[in-house]
Structure 1
Amino acid sequence: MSSVKTTTTTTTTTATHATAPAITLRRVRLGAGGPLSDVRIENASVTAVFPAGESPRADGAALDLDGRTLLPGLWDSHVHMVQWAGMRRRLDVSGAGSARAAAQAAGAQAAGLPPGEAMIGFGFRDGLWPDPPHKDLLDAVAGDRPVLLISMDLHSAWLNSAGLALVGRGDHPTGLLREQESIKAVAAMPSASVEVTDQWVREACVAAAARGITGIVDFEYADNIADWTRRMNAAPVPLRVAASIWPPHLEAAISRGLRTGQSLDTPGGLLEVGPFKLFTDGSLNTRTALCHEAYPGSVPGEPGSHGLEELPPEQLVTLLRRASSHGIVPAVHAIGDRANEMALDAFEAVRCHGRIEHGQLLAANDIPRFAELGVTVGVQPTHAVDDRDVADRHWAGRTHRAFAFADLLAAGAVLELGSDAPVAPLDPWLTIVSAVTRTRDERPAWHPEQRIPVAAALAGSSQGQRLIRVGDRADLVVTDADPLTADARTLREMPVHATMLAGAWTHGPSL
């Protein structure tokens, strides 16, 4: 196992909020598999498209892209941005094969920190571990230094005795906190200053732009509208951001008259109101995803045997109705098949459109309901390949309807793809290749019948936009390879030549 603290830096140009100069992109392939074209961009929009070599002389710059591919700008539709920005700098224990190995890595990292500084790491997956996480393991290697390890799925936190005391849970018997207890513990740990955190977020946004990202939906557990307004007013951010609303902030948003999709007053108009985030259940790795069938080894009927119901159906209906009646689109976290059924039932009762985030395990008769009810499903294909072994163990006999991307598409559902960063890296090409291949190693595809075509994965990563047309805003990405003809390795490592936001380069050429 390799466990290191890393800092990622990216050399890039940053778009300003001033109107970008006009430019003609010459000899560029118009979309994956598209014709060679010249594309004219003015006032942050695509204003004309010509066959290659036939564009008239015009004011402004011209850039010969030598047959590269021009795609709509990519979106990551599910990100926890502050956590992703912080975890890019923290100890990664995702390679640990046991609780003891993860604790040893944490102890080694803690030894090099200044006295009194908390040791924070992330990435543990205990669903297949032979030994359970326990505070005693961390106490033995870190002593009185507070230690916090966050699970890869963000649904668990593992602390030592000093860490538990720091967050007011010194009486906890094991140090392993789940779901809401975990969220509260992570929030209570000392963190970097707002100024430092905002700088980390900007750096993470720059890195995302270098991979072709032009926008994100941020589901950070925070007052996201206030936080992103502050960030964008302080310094340029090279992404569009849809800032989600959590239950503690719903009434304030309603009182302000905010509606999902509404542009907020920030430089460049890059910030908009996002969806309203709710939870119905937990996650697969913590065995808290709410399922119709009991988890192996549990006793049916005992608390937790089928997972965890985070929100009773009647409360879910009430909250969906409250938000949607004020133009705020609900986004409901649902992973287990029982949770997804409950969420779809709530959308049907309220008769509003919205989103279900994850939709990992579905009953067969619920798959067509997404399209019937107008409910978008936000999926994270990298989870399908990362969690295949955990799913085979804990959802045995049901995995043919897990991460059922092809079945959902065939039923007419709208899929929007994301990473759930930091659960998976904020890299759209890892997301796309996972959806297309259903494997990340030398093993055959896991349930290959649920693979989706490259074109569908690209559309799901660009808010459904498949073509570049006159009148579109100039949020674009230029790749060195055509995704339609790229092999799996090239697709995964896709060389991004340039990224453009509102007609200005955020990565690549500086003109």
Structure 2
Amino acid sequence: MSALLLRGARSPGSAREIDVRLADGHVASVTPVGEAEVRHGDEVVDARGTTVLPGLVDAHVHWTQWAQVRRRVDVGAARDPEEVATTMAGAATGGPGMVVGHGFRAALWSRPPHKEMLERAAPGVPIALVSDDLHAVWLSPAALVRLGREHPTGLLREHEAFAVMPALSAGPDVAELDRWVAAASAEAAARGLTAVRDFEYDDTVAAWSRRAADGGLALRVDAAVWEPWLAATLDRGHRTGDAVADLVRVGPFKILADGSLNTRTAACHHAYPDPGDGYGALNIDPGDLRDLMVRVARDGLHPAVHAIGDRANAVVLDAFAHVDGPGRVEHAQLVAPEDVARFARPGLVASVQPAHLVDDRDVAERHWPDATARAYPYADLVAAGARLELGSDAPVAAPDPWLAIAAAVARTGDERPPWHPEQSLDVATALRASCGGRLELRLGDPADVVLVEEDPLHADPGTLRAMPVRATVLAGRVTHRGAA
């Protein structure tokens, strides 16, 4: 049977060249260069000068939103709400549809967003903006009417925001949306990505099963389950880890314990500087959270609980003490010192997004001024024995695993010095957390492989961020070929 033979690559940190044979969707052999037999029908790839790694994984994405965001008005660079309003007015075409923007970051603004700012800039135009962190939606008066809502300011947060987001995604038909998703997946493969864990607020299992039916997915997908689709998931007999289509598995069960830093709704032990924000807020009662986690775990679904503030992380860890089985804490951005060791619980994953520390360091300094030494505490978590997985939270950050690795290592993304460098990860640890926990290929592994032009273990942060990818292979099929 034909195979893909990668000839002359090197393992990370090694000068020794090897041949890697990929056959039947798995790693069939790893031998010194020249020892692998070339069989009839084999495709031989000259991999000399590259480093070979297990395929890279983004442990937390919202993939449909990532595919859509690139077709929305980008307001991420706006310095105040008026600039956002002016940008959106300029994007209005006069057509009947909603004008949708993405990426506003209000945490450093001196004035909060308000619906009348949008109305003054574009009278009568239905405008909707999704915040960078996906936890707020800012609507103009016409948009509120279009959505059948009333609100005093037009700034919806948390559950109110989540309730209107599906309507903002209703523009393209399913076929077009799937084409956008496929294009985004192909671009991600060009950065070495071979798998994502998709937390889209949708029936993601059904959506990805539909996409897989056409064949040729560019990524493996673990499709998370949300509560509105829990009953249907269990009726189908699905459990976390079940294969439902080629390259698609049932993922964990997603629960939101609190909000976010940028929306100032992350539940914290300390108060936010603005009295109106209080201590943030839990999105679910602690007792209800515990009961829900216990129930879904008994039904075979692994809980994956969003927790950003230190109070939320403590509440989630308390609940996990009652859960029999694996689970995940998504984000873990602020952790009390007494809770760090609790992340070492067997079967628990701390799923973190290092690009957020680069993007949000100024926000954290303003809103968590006395707690930044405990923010994004990656080194402490690793030292305590926690299992880390890196991701992007796309579209909050781009789904580029090299950006996440570089941020975890450098703790900066610009000319400023590292932010709390005592929490930096070494390259090998960050890389393992992006490659399924290992750096070298093993016999029998899935044939998900990436060839990169530089050895990551010897690369500086700038090289890591821009890491050139020679080729990406998914299940033995080449999904990206770069210039040799």
TM-score by length of 2: 0.97
Is 1:338 the counterpart of 2:311? The answer is: yes
Give the alignment of 1:297-316 within 5 angstroms. 297-298=274-275, 304-316=277-289
Provide, for residues 13-37 of structure 1, a one-character-per-residue CA deviation record: whole Å limited to 9, x for no partner: xxxxxxx941221110123546311
Corresponding residue for 1:63?
45
1:435–1:451 CA contact under 8 A, matched in 2: yes
Q: Which amino acid letter does the alignment assign opposite residue 97 of structure 1? A: R
Corresponding residue for 2:157?
178
Give the alignment of 1:78-477 within 5 angstroms. 78-110=60-92, 113=93, 115-169=95-149, 171-189=150-168, 190-264=170-244, 266=245, 269-298=246-275, 304-477=277-450
Cα distance between partner residues in 1 of 2:6 and 2:206: 37
Q: Which amino acid letter does the alignment assign opposite residue 222 of structure 2? A: A
- DSSP-derived class of the 1:259 partner: coil
2:114–2:154 CA contact under 8 A, matched in 1: yes
Corresponding residue for 1:15?
none
- DSSP-derived class of the 1:484 partner: helix
* Deviation at residue 352 of structure 1 after TM alignment: 3.2
Q: Which amino acid letter does the alignment assign opposite residue 25 of structure 1? A: L
Alignment coverage as a number of residue pairs:
481
1:98–1:131 CA contact under 8 A, matched in 2: yes
Q: Which amino acid letter does the alignment assign opposite residue 438 of structure 2? A: Q
Say which of 31, 36, 39 aligns to 2:12.
31
Cα distance between partner residues in 2 of 1:173 and 1:305: 20
2:282–2:312 CA contact under 8 A, matched in 1: yes
- DSSP-derived class of the 2:35 partner: coil
Provide, for residues 320-369 of structure 1, a one-character-per-residue CA deviation record: whole Å limited to 9, x for no partner: 11111121100000000000000000000234320000000001010000
Q: 1:69 to 1:373 in 2, by over 3 A?
A: closer
Cα distance between partner residues in 2 of 1:350 and 1:80: 26
Provide, for residues 436-489 of structure 1, a one-character-per-residue CA deviation record: whole Å limited to 9, x for no partner: 101011000000011101111111112213221122111001111111112222
* Deviation at residue 158 of structure 1 after TM alignment: 0.6
Q: Which amino acid letter does the alignment assign opposite residue 218 of structure 1? A: D
- Identity among equivalent positions (%) equals 49
1:370–1:413 CA contact under 8 A, matched in 2: yes
Provide, for residues 144-168 of structure 1, a one-character-per-residue CA deviation record: whole Å limited to 9, x for no partner: 2211111000001111111111111
Cα distance between partner residues in 2 of 1:494 and 1:90: 28
Pick which of 234-243 and 275-284 moved more.
Answer: 234-243
- DSSP-derived class of the 1:130 partner: coil
Pick which of 281-290 and 253-262 moved more.
Answer: 253-262
2:185–2:218 CA contact under 8 A, matched in 1: yes
1:31–1:468 CA contact under 8 A, matched in 2: no
Say which of 471, 474, 478 aligns to 1:505.
478
* Deviation at residue 188 of structure 1 after TM alignment: 2.4
2:12–2:51 CA contact under 8 A, matched in 1: yes
- DSSP-derived class of the 2:175 partner: helix
Provide, for residues 7-63 of structure 1, a one-character-per-residue CA deviation record: whole Å limited to 9, x for no partner: xxxxxxxxxxxxx94122111012354631111222121111121233334331222
Q: 1:186 to 1:116 in 2, by over 3 A?
A: same
1:377–1:416 CA contact under 8 A, matched in 2: yes
- DSSP-derived class of the 1:198 partner: helix
1:216–1:239 CA contact under 8 A, matched in 2: yes
2:12–2:457 CA contact under 8 A, matched in 1: no
Say which of 38, 49, 58 aligns to 1:76.
58
- DSSP-derived class of the 1:62 partner: strand
- DSSP-derived class of the 1:367 partner: helix
Give the alignment of 1:8-27 within 5 angstroms. 21-27=2-8
Q: Which amino acid letter does the alignment assign opposite residue 54 of structure 2? A: P
* Deviation at residue 236 of structure 1 after TM alignment: 2.4
Cα distance between partner residues in 1 of 2:446 and 2:347: 26
1:100–1:131 CA contact under 8 A, matched in 2: no
Q: Which amino acid letter does the alignment assign opposite residue 268 of structure 2? A: C
1:281–1:308 CA contact under 8 A, matched in 2: yes
Corresponding residue for 1:17?
none
2:297–2:324 CA contact under 8 A, matched in 1: no
1:212–1:477 CA contact under 8 A, matched in 2: yes
Q: Which amino acid letter does the alignment assign opposite residue 188 of structure 1? A: A
Q: Which amino acid letter does the alignment assign opposite residue 505 of structure 1? A: V
- DSSP-derived class of the 1:85 partner: helix
Stretches of structure 2 that go unaligned for 5 or more consecutive residues are none
1:32–1:71 CA contact under 8 A, matched in 2: no
Cα distance between partner residues in 2 of 1:168 and 1:405: 43
Cα distance between partner residues in 1 of 2:37 and 2:269: 63
Q: Which amino acid letter does the alignment assign opposite residue 206 of structure 2? A: A
* Deviation at residue 241 of structure 1 after TM alignment: 0.4
Provide, for residues 364-395 of structure 1, a one-character-per-residue CA deviation record: whole Å limited to 9, x for no partner: 01000011353211000000110000101111
Cα distance between partner residues in 1 of 2:84 and 2:166: 22
* Deviation at residue 198 of structure 1 after TM alignment: 1.0
- DSSP-derived class of the 2:243 partner: coil
Instruction: Give RMSD over aligned pairs.
Output: 1.5
1:21–1:503 CA contact under 8 A, matched in 2: no
2:113–2:155 CA contact under 8 A, matched in 1: yes
Q: Which amino acid letter does the alignment assign opposite residue 289 of structure 1? A: A
